[in-house]
Amino acid sequence: MRRWGVVRTIGLVVAAVVVGGVLFQLPASPFARHGYPQRGVVPASVESTQPGRTALQSPARPPVSHPVTTPSEVITYPVAGTQKYAVLPASPGVIGRAGKLMQFQIAIEGGIAGIDRAAFTRFVRATYGGAQGWASHGLWRFQQVGPGTNPDFTLMLVTPQTRDVLCGAAPDRYTSCRIGKRVVLNVARWVHGVPKYGASLTTYRQYMINHETGHRLGRGHELCPGAGQPAPVMEQQTLGLHGCVAYAWPYVNGARYTGRLGQYDDSVPVGRDH
C-alpha cells in the first residue's frame, strides 16, 4: 500500500507539464483545446530585444518566448472579463519621422491580472517603431494618448468572451480582430500564441499588433505568396501559414512586403477583420 501511494504521488506530479524549463498548468476547461483555459497561468515575457528578427523553432514545441531583457510575468485571465477597461497613461513622444499621425490609446480589460502594464506599453510602442514596422518608412506616425481623449484607435487587450462581444460576427473566442476604431487583441493568444506557429511567442505578439493595426490603417487580408517565403503581415497567420514562414512585419529589408489579396481588399478601411 505504501508503494502504491508513492506511485500515485509521482503520477500527480507528472500531471504538470514542464516545457523548456517552464511549468505549465494543465487546463481543466473545455476550451483548453483552443488555448484558453478557464484560468490560464503561463509565464510570458513581453518585450523583445530584437523586434525585427524572426527566430524559428521546431513546430512540435508549444510557442514560448525566447530569452528577453525584461523579467517574466505570470498572466492570468478568465474566459469572460469585466468589459470595463483601464486606459493606460499617455506617452507623448511621436513614433515615426513622417506621415499621417495616428493617435492611439492602450486599454486593458478588467479581470486580466499579472501583466506588467509599463512593459506592455513599451512592447506596443517598440513594435510600431520597429525597423520594419508601420512607422518605419514615412507613411505613418503614432502617438499614444491617455484617458479622456478621442484617439484614432484604441488597442485593447481583452478576454476571449469579450473578444466575441466586441468583434461581432463569427464568434470564436480564439482570434483577435479590428472593428471600427478598436484594435482588439485576444489575451488567450497573447499568452499562448498558436500551435505550430514556428516562431517565438514574441514574434507572434508582434504579428498580432501589426496585423490588427494594419486593418485600422486600411490594409486588407493577403495570402501566402509561395512556399517557404515570409508570410505577409496581413496574412491570417493565426489560422495557418499555408506554406509560408512566420513573419511579423509589414516591411522586408526596407521594402513593403505584400501577398495576393485575400478575403478583403485595401479599399475597405473599416469593418470586421480577423
Q: What is the DSSP letter of 71?
A: P
User: What's the Cα-to-Cα distance from 60 to each of 19, 63, 196, 197, rounded to whole Å?
Assistant: 11, 9, 6, 9
Give me the pLDDT at residue 169, please.
75
Distance CA 245, CA 272 (A): 26
Total structural domains in the chain?
1
Predicted confidence band of residue 104 (pLDDT cuts 50, 70, 90)? very high
**Intra-chain end-to-end CA distance of the chain, in Å:** 55
What is this structure's pTM? 0.72
Residue of 203, 207, 217 lying closest to 142 (CA atoms): 217
Residue of 124, 257, 140, 122 lying closest to 185 (CA atoms): 124
In a domain, 5, yes or no: no
Q: Average pLDDT in the 244-248 region? A: 97
Q: Average pLDDT in the 224-237 region? A: 96
* Strands 73-77 and 40-44, sheet pairing: antiparallel
User: What's the Cα-to-Cα distance from 72 to each of 22, 90, 120, 228, rounded to whole Å?
Assistant: 11, 24, 12, 32
In a domain, 80, yes or no: yes
Give me the pLDDT at residue 95, please.
97
In a domain, 21, yes or no: no
Give me the pLDDT at residue 274, please.
54
In a domain, 48, yes or no: yes
Helices (H) and strands (E) in the chain, counts: 5, 16
In a domain, 128, yes or no: yes
Q: Which residues pair with 255 in a beta bridge?
A: 252
Residue of 252, 174, 177 lying closest to 214 (CA atoms): 177
Give me the pLDDT at residue 80, please.
96
Predicted confidence band of residue 268 (pLDDT cuts 50, 70, 90)? very low
In a domain, 29, yes or no: no
In a domain, 14, yes or no: no
Please report where in the chains the cell 514574441 appears, as a residue: 202
Give me the pLDDT at residue 63, please.
30
More confident residue, 30 or 144: 144
Mean of per-residue pLDDT scores for the chain = 76
Give me the pLDDT at residue 263, please.
52
Q: 174-219, pLDDT tens digit by residue?
A: 999 999 999 999 999 999 999 999 999 999 999 999 999 999 999 9
Distance CA 181, CA 157 (A): 14
The range of the structural domain enclosing residue 46 comes to 42-273
In a domain, 36, yes or no: no
